């Protein structure tokens, strides 16, 4: 197998444990691979302005953000495809008509009403309690976007919408109602008993942005790997020469990848980098 020259890494659930921590082996893997001449890019659904500072501090060669609506290579912008205003207005009307909680992302920030901000924090606090040991000290919810007020958003610069709630069928209904124009996937926020989804324009995915970055860099997709754990990573798996699901991903998503590495807490990124020759074992 050709040794890949570039790796694309999802953030939540791959590098960062949904706001909690980053495995030391992941930091070592990224920095060692770059020191050896490989390129390593972030590839996340988050907006650029909402990426955890601890992740950015690792150091990367570029980033695909907002689920593929934006991408940079170093300081150069390669992709900048916000939603048309009429598309944003259709989504807002849909969410409000159906009583669905939502927030909107620009490349710089995330916007929500005060009610949605409070509901999101409450959902994440439920998740924290559901996934923590009884004797473990409880901390404030982490991984919640750093919201700005929805009243201040410029609808001409929206890159992506996220919705959440306690009805597990919301994603499928949204896909049926909006799939004529939009790309609707299940989100990665760990909501106990509930659901969340992400909506971008049809054809705007992590995979579409990766292809444009590879074209810009003159790198054959066969020389790339993509590592992720969420449904917005499917197109990344399809474009990259090797698509790798984290061990903590859903089984159905693992089936869409070329291979599966260990979980985020068992050196999954590091093991994948060793396996594919980006770093020494």
Q: Is residue 249 part of a domain?
A: yes
| Domain stops at, among 155, 176, 201 | 201
Number of residues in the chain: 281
Please report the pLDDT score of residue 54 as a whole number.
Answer: 96
Tell whether 191 and 127 lie within a shared domain. yes
Q: pLDDT digit string (tens) for 211-270?
A: 999 999 999 999 999 999 999 999 999 999 999 999 999 999 999 999 999 999 999 999
Report the number of distinct structural domains present in the chain: 2
Considering only CA atoms, which of 6, 12, 34, 5 is closest in space to residue 233? 12
Same domain, 140 and 234: no
- Rounded to 10°, the helix 268-275/24-35 angle is 30
Mean pLDDT of 54-72: 98
User: Is residue 257 domain-resident?
Assistant: yes
157 and 208 share one domain = no
Q: Does residue 263 share a domain with residue 245?
A: yes
122 backbone dihedrals φ, ψ, rounded to 5° = -65, -45
Same domain, residue pair 99 and 159:
yes
Q: How confident is the model at residue 132 (pLDDT cuts 50, 70, 90)?
A: very low
pLDDT for position 123: 72
CA gap 31, 75 in Å, rounded: 19
The verdict on residue 14 lying in a domain is: yes
Range of the domain at 115: 85-201
Give me the pLDDT at residue 135, please: 41
Q: Specify if 120 maps to a domain.
A: yes
Mean pLDDT within 187-195: 68
Examine residue 108 and state whether it is found in any structural domain, yes or no.
yes
pLDDT per residue over 50-62, tens digit each? 999 999 999 999 9
What pLDDT does residue 141 have? 41
pTM greater than 0.75 (yes/no): yes
Q: Determine, yes or no, domain membership for 44.
A: yes
- Predicted pLDDT at 121: 79
**For 81-100, what is the mean pLDDT?**
97
Please indicate, yes or no, whether residues 89 and 197 belong to a single structural domain of this protein: yes
Residues 89 and 192 in one domain: yes
74 and 42 in a common domain: yes
**Cα-Cα end-to-end distance for the chain:** 17
Domain at 131, CATH number: 3.30.1240.10
Contact 230, 45 (CB under 8 A): yes
Could you tell me if 195 and 132 lie in one domain? yes
């Amino acid at each position: 197998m050709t040794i890949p020259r570039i790796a694309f890494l999802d953030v939540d659930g791959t590098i960062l444990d949904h706001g909690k921590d980053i495995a030391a082996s992941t930091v070592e893997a990224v920095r060692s691979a770059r020191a050896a001449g490989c390129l390593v890019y972030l590839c996340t659904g988050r907006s650029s302005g909402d990426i955890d500072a601890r992740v950015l501090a690792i150091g990367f060669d570029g980033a695909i953000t907002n689920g593929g609506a934006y991408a940079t290579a170093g300081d150069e912008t390669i992709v900048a495809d916000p939603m048309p205003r009429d598309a944003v207005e259709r989504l807002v009307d849909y969410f409000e008509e159906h009583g669905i909680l939502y927030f909107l992302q620009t490349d710089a920030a995330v916007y929500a009403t005060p009610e949605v901000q409070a509901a999101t924090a409450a959902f994440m606090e439920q998740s924290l309690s559901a996934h923590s040991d009884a004797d473990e000290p409880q901390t404030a919810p982490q991984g919640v976007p750093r919201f700005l007020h929805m009243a201040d958003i410029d609808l001409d610069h929206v890159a992506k919408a996220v919705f959440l709630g306690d009805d597990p069928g919301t994603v499928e209904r949204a896909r049926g109602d909006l799939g004529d124009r939009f790309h609707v996937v299940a989100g990665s926020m760990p909501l106990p008993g509930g659901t969340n989804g992400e909506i971008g324009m049809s054809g705007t995915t992590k995979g579409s942005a990766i292809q444009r970055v590879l074209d810009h860099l003159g790198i054959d997709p066969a020389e790339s790997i993509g590592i992720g754990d969420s449904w917005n990573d499917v197109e990344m798996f399809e474009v990259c020469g090797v698509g790798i699901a984290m061990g903590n991903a859903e089984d159905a998503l693992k089936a869409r990848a070329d291979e599966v590495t260990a979980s985020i807490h068992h050196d999954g990124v590091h093991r994948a980098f060793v396996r594919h020759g980006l770093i020494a074992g």
